[in-house]
Structure 1
Amino acid sequence: MMIIELMKEVGRGKRGARDLTYEEALLAADLIVNQKASQAQIGAFLMAERIKMESVEEMEAFVEICRKQAYRASFQQGIDCAGPYDGRKKSFYATFATAFLLAAAGLPTTLHGMASLPPKWGITLHDLLGAMGIDAEKLSREQVIRAASGTGVLFVPAEQWCPPLKELRAIREELGMRTVLNTAEKLVDYSNSPYLVYGVYHNTVFERMAKLLVKLNYRKALIVQGAEGSEDIFIERPTRAYIVEDGEARLHVIDPETYGLDTQLPETAGEWTPVRHIEVTEAVLQGGGHLAYMNQVLLNAAVRLRLSDRVDSVEEGLYTCKHLLDSGSAYELYLKWKGAMLTEGADKPNEAVTQL
């Protein structure tokens, strides 16, 4: 079966379009991810799928094909933090600071991303590393694995570890819209993590994503309707989330007020640059900075420790993480990771950051 035949099935319009079977979706995903179809056909198929809305089987097929084309290592069994690859514009990148708290608590953490994409074109993890003087595009596989082996924090430049994502970038930029690839790229699971925290923007996708994560066999997963569609729990209001475990999903509302952490964000919270993200990250990891960002990192870390069965309650996780900040353990681990990443392919760090 050729891509044109599959495209006719998903692109027949609102009444005529149908979901592909899993076998058909695997074929379509292979033709698209490995660019066995023309650019026009790829673009048309992705847009038709977007209009129809991707089924669970179709999303699963794209994840499977992307995984087959990626380098995946099993050297650390921890939690995968899967946020939007199109970045942030108005919110703090709490998951970056959270990663070092989790690792300091003994939970290996995987972060991954690439240069910004549509539709948001926001600040990405690549930009944060750039503000630290680290060129994410020049990081070798050996270098990031070495940094992770010494700290428990793995950062994966996704387009290097999954080359088809780089090859499909141009057409995605031209389309300028979300496609099934925006879902699949976050679920490549580069370190074969048993635990996952996954960000979504709309609560309308909760059910489909829960079914998908059940099929992908994570031990436990948390789907978070977080800041700007990220995996970051809000600190100024409750956050809707789904816990996926033992083949079932249940709604869970995480309210910072329950833990005495609800904090209003500063008025300037909407003005973000990569340098400011790193300034706030380093301030929090040193036990300082604005209380809202400190509390947000503590809450996100505590919830992820509980999800991963490293603590018996969120309250215990908060106590553990506060101690790691106060003792300087999390910041020391961050500096160790930063030093390991600032080797070949790195420029001089931004002075505004290193002065903190």
Structure 2
Amino acid sequence: MTNLLKEVGRGKRGARDLCYDEALLAADAILDLKATPAQIGAFFIAERIKMESVEEIEAFVTVCRKHAHRLPIQQGLDCAGPYDGRKKSFFATFPAAFLLATAGLPITLHGAAALPPKWGITLHDLLHESGIDADRLSRDQIVKAAKDTGVLYVPAEEWCPQLRALRSIRIELGMRTVLNTAEKLIDYSHSPFLVFGIYHNTVSARMAQLATNLEYTRALIVQGMEGSEDLFIERPTRTYLVTDGESKLHMIDPDTYGLETPLPKMEWTPAEQLRVSESVLQGRGHLAFVNQVLLNAAVRLQLAEKVESIEEGLYTCKALLDDGAPWELYRKWQNALQAESALPCSS
């Protein structure tokens, strides 16, 4: 580990990217906790200064996957949003998951308790507000609920314990590390389709190459709200469609589909996120949030080749939302996991 640190820690000009094999050695040492806390912290900071290469991130993804509980539970779409959560934006991906599952597209969500640097509201918080203690859920019951509803939620630090082991170091550092990217790409259910959120456009080319290297059938890299995978509804969103080894810029403008809507000012809390999500699923939400869920769901249906166009996806999703089936599916999923999380935990 010391020799690897010398290569990445020579400063902005002197540091070099590790090759894939070297990065695998570093990832193994860190995730197996064979490196000391000082070495782990130094590596994370050096990488942050240098900026991680595609090969380095891929190596960390590979090692995370090796240690994670992964099963081909459902062949659908993996929604990879930031584990450090949100502070200023709506979790459209949460209600959209149940709309998409109703449309026949299985969805995988995953997350953990809040992390740096943002320390925002996470999916974990929404589940807790919904009466579900995600950290107490057994794998078997999570999988059963997914098979019954098409929505899989993975508590990442339970299914990949190495992430939990490194939490204290990440909290002490208080900044983004390579794990902030790698943990989103563990792909617990072997999904062929990926929607992946980024904050800065400067990383789009690297993330597109990474999605190709990881052999997703189709991926959408989204420069979304607070670095999430959610499209904006009040303005266009820059996205990159990755398919057949190529990445193409695709600006998605809600005004094109008659959906552009100003967002109301909100003071977001876990309770408010859940209330708005449930209102949308019940067909009585604020128009901005309803439209945002519809647009995100339609784009994801097209990404997964369930519809031929975003327009067709919108028509499909609007009809399903009006019918009430996504709300019924959500309640079925919620009831199953509420009952399970109240029981003694088992794996």
Cα deviation, residue 345, structure 1: 2.6
Q: Does 1:177 align with 2:175?
A: yes
CA deviations over 1:323-348 (Å, ceiling 9, x no partner): 1111111111111101111113339x
Residue 311 of structure 1 is matched in structure 2 by: 307
Residue 241 of structure 2 is matched in structure 1 by: 243
Two-structure CA RMSD over aligned residues (Å):
0.8
Q: Could you tell me how far apart the structure 1 residues matched to 2:318 and 2:14 are?
A: 56
Q: Residue 226 of structure 2 aligns to a residue in which SS?
A: helix
Q: 1:63 aligns with which of 54, 61, 64?
A: 61
Residue 351 of structure 1 is matched in structure 2 by: none
Aligned ranges for residues 54-203 of structure 1 at < 5 Å? 54-203=52-201
Code of the residue aligned with 1:108 in structure 2: it is: P
Q: 1:283 aligns with which of 260, 279, 284?
A: 279
Residue 264 of structure 1 is matched in structure 2 by: 262
Q: Could you tell me how far apart the structure 2 residues matched to 1:342 and 1:178 are?
A: 32
Q: Could you tell me how far apart the structure 1 residues matched to 2:326 and 2:211 are?
A: 30
Q: Residue 14 of structure 1 aligns to a residue in which SS?
A: helix
Cα deviation, residue 143, structure 1: 1.4
Residue 328 of structure 2 is matched in structure 1 by: 332
Cα deviation, residue 34, structure 1: 1.1
Moved over 4 A (4+): none
Cα deviation, residue 288, structure 1: 1.2
Code of the residue aligned with 1:257 in structure 2: it is: D
Q: Residue 80 of structure 1 aligns to a residue in which SS?
A: strand
**Which consecutive unaligned segments of at least 5 residues does structure 2 have?**
none
CA deviations over 1:256-312 (Å, ceiling 9, x no partner): 00000000011x23x101111111111101111100000000000000000000001
Q: Could you tell me how far apart the structure 2 residues matched to 1:59 and 1:75 are?
A: 25
Q: Residue 281 of structure 1 aligns to a residue in which SS?
A: helix
Residue 342 of structure 2 is matched in structure 1 by: 346
Q: Could you tell me how far apart the structure 2 residues matched to 1:181 and 1:5 are?
A: 21
Identity of aligned residues (%): 70
Residue 320 of structure 1 is matched in structure 2 by: 316
Cα deviation, residue 93, structure 1: 0.4
Q: Could you tell me how far apart the structure 1 residues matched to 2:130 and 2:207 are?
A: 34
Q: Residue 13 of structure 2 aligns to a residue in which SS?
A: coil
Moved more, 110-119 or 133-142: 133-142
Code of the residue aligned with 1:314 in structure 2: it is: I
Q: 1:11 aligns with which of 4, 9, 18?
A: 9
Q: Residue 197 of structure 1 aligns to a residue in which SS?
A: strand
Q: Residue 299 of structure 1 aligns to a residue in which SS?
A: helix
Cα deviation, residue 142, structure 1: 1.0
Q: Residue 110 of structure 1 aligns to a residue in which SS?
A: strand
8 Å contact kept, 1:133–1:346: no
Question: When the two structures are superposed, what TM-score results if normalisation uses the length of structure 2?
Answer: 0.98
Residue 211 of structure 1 is matched in structure 2 by: 209
Q: Could you tell me how far apart the structure 2 residues matched to 1:142 and 1:170 are?
A: 28
Q: Could you tell me how far apart the structure 2 residues matched to 1:102 and 1:345 are?
A: 25
Q: Residue 344 of structure 1 aligns to a residue in which SS?
A: helix
Residue 19 of structure 2 is matched in structure 1 by: 21
Question: When the two structures are superposed, what TM-score results if normalisation uses the length of structure 1?
Answer: 0.95
Code of the residue aligned with 1:272 in structure 2: it is: W
Moved more, 131-140 or 304-313: 131-140
Q: Could you tell me how far apart the structure 1 residues matched to 2:112 and 2:342 are?
A: 17
Q: Could you tell me how far apart the structure 2 residues matched to 1:251 and 1:146 are?
A: 38
Q: Could you tell me how far apart the structure 2 residues matched to 1:23 and 1:134 are?
A: 40
